[in-house]
Structure 1
Amino acid sequence: MTSDPLRAYERAFAESVGTAHAVSFWKGRVALYAILKALGVGPGDEVAVTGYTCVMAVNPILYLGARPVYIDIEPETFNMDAASLRERISERTRLVIVQHTYGYPADLDALTKAAAERNLSIVEDCCLALGSRYRGRPVGTFGAAAYWSSQWSKSYTTGLGGMATTGDPMLAQRIRGVWEEASEAGGAAVVMLRMQLAAYRMLVFPRTTSLAQRIFRWLTRAGLVIGSSTTEEFSPVMPEGFLRRMSRFQAKVGLRQLDRFERSADHRRRLKRFYDERLAEAGWRVPGIRPECDPVLVRYPVRVRDKAAALQAAARSGVELGSWFESPLHPIQTPLEAFGYVEGCCPEAERAARETVNLPLHPRVSEAAARRSVELVCRIGPPDDSR
């Protein structure tokens, strides 16, 4: 009898990230929702979250009737600042979501200590950090649970896809209970996803990325493809059909991708070293890494003097350059108040959103393509105070 690919993928994924239990979902944000619900988050609770993130990582908090509390970032690492966390948590704070931004492990010593002082659980946001380690341990194994994404822009892609992981068997049972409530992925959606993955493999390369993204966004708005986010998901109100399971097709793709991941991770490490060396030679201050961190980056962040000019130059010249995070709650620009964010509450995050672009690291990026990316950002120049 053929084994269930969903269960096979969950077992393989749990083993790959060093934990005991994994539960698969349609998207990473759905996995986060399941974790929060399983942990009992609800009305009146507060959840601490970085102020430099994707709005889809905040909405599950709102869907459950809780309130996000935004924590500023360390400018060197783009990760949550433990001092800011201590200042902003209250007696209503239920847990802390620790994001490993761009793949750089957060300061887990300081953050777990700050959380423990108030008896708060930690959930790790590992959507950008597959393969990263902190003090020799995989990220995702330091809190009560973690969630992961295999959406288009992540370390590997199943088109869409999410995973909740935990080492706690009782919590795993409760997350599985939320999974039981979720709907199956529809046949039409799976067929469309299959076609999109085939097109992605054939058409998306560093020189074509900008054009491909523009076409993809237009097709998404027209309802002709499955986008990373539906229009309804940009609202703090939970859309119909949000709670959905991963399809067997995605699980089969995920199993193949896991087998290839270590080669991809080695490629990402080599390109990161290349970017570090070339930018340092040009006099740039490269992102700071603590000695206890061993990152596998999904993208390489660089602060520039004029972000809009950098992105326009990249689009004109066929150089792949990422824009996120474009705001403290990417990609939302205004009004952020609908999501509980007050302008000015996270000044370092807001500055990072104004200044930071990101360079590609995925397996289709050659050293020649990486060199073009470095040359472009060097033409734009760093912020005045970053040399």
Structure 2
Amino acid sequence: MADYIKNLKTEISKYLKTDNIYFHYKGRVSLYVILQAMNVKEGDEVIIPAYTCVVVPNPIIYLGAKPVYVDIDKDNLCMDINLLEKNITEKTKVIICQNTYGLSANVDTIVEIAKKHNLYTIEDCTHGFGGFYKNQPNGSYCDAAFYSMQWNKPFSSGIGGFLTINNAELLENINKIDRQKAKPGFLTKLNLKLLFFAKRYFLNNTTYWFLLNFYRWLSKNNLVTGSSSGNEISDIKMPDNFLMDYSQTQAKEGLRNIKKLPKLLALRKNNALKYTEFLLKNNKVFVKKDLFENHSFLKYPILVKNRDKFFDLARKHKIELGDWFNSPIHPVQNNFEKWEMYPEKYPIANYTSQHVVNLPTDTKKIKKVLSFMEKFIDEIL
């Protein structure tokens, strides 16, 4: 039997120039393993952007530590480095930076600040695989990095994640923790195969909105293996069997998709450039061109006046849009205090999460999307 995991590791190492790659059932599990290896524990603080997914603060809380949020820079939607140092205390242990939508910003500066205060750094590359920052692959600057292979990430294995280690001092702990992983069961792998089949044969422009909402409902109610279970977005208790291993079933799908990545990255970058040119011409908010060099555009963010209205228009015109991040800790909509999050304290992140819409960058129907934007240009900020 082919060793798909070994073969996938070989392909990933070609992009990241490292062999220190460890696979897990999901990217958030990889983050949890890194934090454990860094000995993050009760009483510690971990600094993260105030514009992220709830699965980032969750592992911090699972370990008894406290997430400390820093507002974002409106020009790149990554952590505002001018606010970073004032949030560092004697309890701070780790800083996590993020490639939001595949856009990397100020990673080297964040690492310099961390070294000054003797702190660990982690790069959240769940949006950024295949991209570069200052001629280095995303994930190269920090002590460790974690990546996602979910359905809608740079390349997909359905569900999945992995971590990389740049700080050799962490390897012993990583290996020790990694040996504790539970194996995915038969039903879990069968569930994945059914989802692969459904995505391959039923997902298209016509079914996109229905299947997206239906899949999220199933996932929320723990009826399918989804990006986030209902428990993860309503509670701060670590799910059972959270520390789960990656399977050959996932790796086979990942291997199939990573081979398509070079063409897909070129398509995303080309589409992103067209979006920027259109928005610039119409005096709208756009991704600055200095962020284009070697970045991977997983999604292209725009701001709209009324997101619900804009989504309704998109559904009627069969345009596939995304809603990352629809809250400062997506997709949580209430009881933010459970995660030590108070949205009003982070005005840029809060405003962005209320108005952001993601344009598809992997579409081959860019003219249709641009035509839709032109028709409803007054709805765009």
TM-score range, shorter chain: over 0.9
Q: Deviation of residue 237 (structure 1)?
A: 1.1
* Superposition pairs of residues 1-387 of structure 1, within 5 angstroms: 4-221=3-220, 223-234=222-233, 235-290=235-290, 293-362=293-362, 364-375=363-374, 378-382=377-381
Query: Deviations along 1:150-171, whole A, 9 cap, x unmatched?
Result: 1011112111000111134442
Is the contact made by 2:222 and 2:230 (CA closer than 8 Å) also made in structure 1? no
Q: Deviation of residue 377 (structure 1)?
A: 5.2
Which moves more between the two structures, 214-223 or 256-265? 214-223
Structure 1: 5+ residue runs without aligned partners? 383-387
Structure 2: 5+ residue runs without aligned partners? none
Is the contact made by 1:104 and 1:289 (CA closer than 8 Å) also made in structure 2? no
Return the alpha-carbon distance in structure 2 between the equivalents of residues 277 and 192 of structure 1. Answer: 42
Is the contact made by 1:105 and 1:293 (CA closer than 8 Å) also made in structure 2? no
Using the aligned pairs only, state the percent identity: 31
Cα distance change, pair 373–88 in 1 and its aligned pair in 2 (3 A): farther
Return the alpha-carbon distance in structure 2 between the equivalents of residues 291 and 215 of structure 1. Answer: 35
Query: Deviations along 1:326-345, whole A, 9 cap, x unmatched?
Result: 11000001111000112322
Cα distance change, pair 90–373 in 1 and its aligned pair in 2 (3 A): farther
TM-score, with normalisation over the residues of structure 2?
Answer: 0.95
What letter matches 2:96 in structure 1? I
Return the alpha-carbon distance in structure 2 between the equivalents of residues 113 and 42 of structure 1. Answer: 24
Secondary structure of 2:343 counterpart: coil
Is the contact made by 1:232 and 1:239 (CA closer than 8 Å) also made in structure 2? yes
Cα distance change, pair 55–224 in 1 and its aligned pair in 2 (3 A): closer
Which moves more between the two structures, 86-95 or 215-224? 215-224
TM-score, with normalisation over the residues of structure 1?
Answer: 0.93
What letter matches 1:214 in structure 2? N
Is the contact made by 1:55 and 1:331 (CA closer than 8 Å) also made in structure 2? yes
Is the contact made by 1:207 and 1:319 (CA closer than 8 Å) also made in structure 2? no
Is the contact made by 1:311 and 1:323 (CA closer than 8 Å) also made in structure 2? no
Q: Deviation of residue 64 (structure 1)?
A: 0.6
Return the alpha-carbon distance in structure 1 between the equivalents of residues 335 and 326 of structure 2. Answer: 14
Query: Deviations along 1:347-386, whole A, 9 cap, x unmatched?
Result: 1100111111110112x4422333245336524131xxxx
Return the alpha-carbon distance in structure 1 between the equivalents of residues 43 and 32 of structure 2. Answer: 16
Which moves more between the two structures, 53-62 or 313-322? 313-322
Return the alpha-carbon distance in structure 2 between the equivalents of residues 170 and 257 of structure 1. Answer: 33
Which moves more between the two structures, 326-335 or 225-234? 225-234
Return the alpha-carbon distance in structure 1 between the equivalents of residues 299 and 372 of structure 2. Answer: 12
Q: Deviation of residue 315 (structure 1)?
A: 2.0
Return the alpha-carbon distance in structure 1 between the equivalents of residues 251 and 350 of structure 2. Answer: 37
Secondary structure of 2:260 counterpart: helix
Return the alpha-carbon distance in structure 1 between the equivalents of residues 117 and 40 of structure 2. Answer: 16
Q: Deviation of residue 210 (structure 1)?
A: 1.1
Alignment root-mean-square deviation, CA: 1.8
Aligned to 1:385: none
Is the contact made by 2:302 and 2:380 (CA closer than 8 Å) also made in structure 1? no
Query: Deviations along 1:9-54, whole A, 9 cap, x unmatched?
Result: 2233133222231000000000100111011111111000000000
Which moves more between the two structures, 296-305 or 220-229? 220-229
Cα distance change, pair 32–376 in 1 and its aligned pair in 2 (3 A): farther
Cα distance change, pair 285–342 in 1 and its aligned pair in 2 (3 A): closer
Which moves more between the two structures, 20-29 or 5-14? 5-14
What letter matches 2:307 in structure 1? K
Which moves more between the two structures, 72-81 or 283-292? 283-292
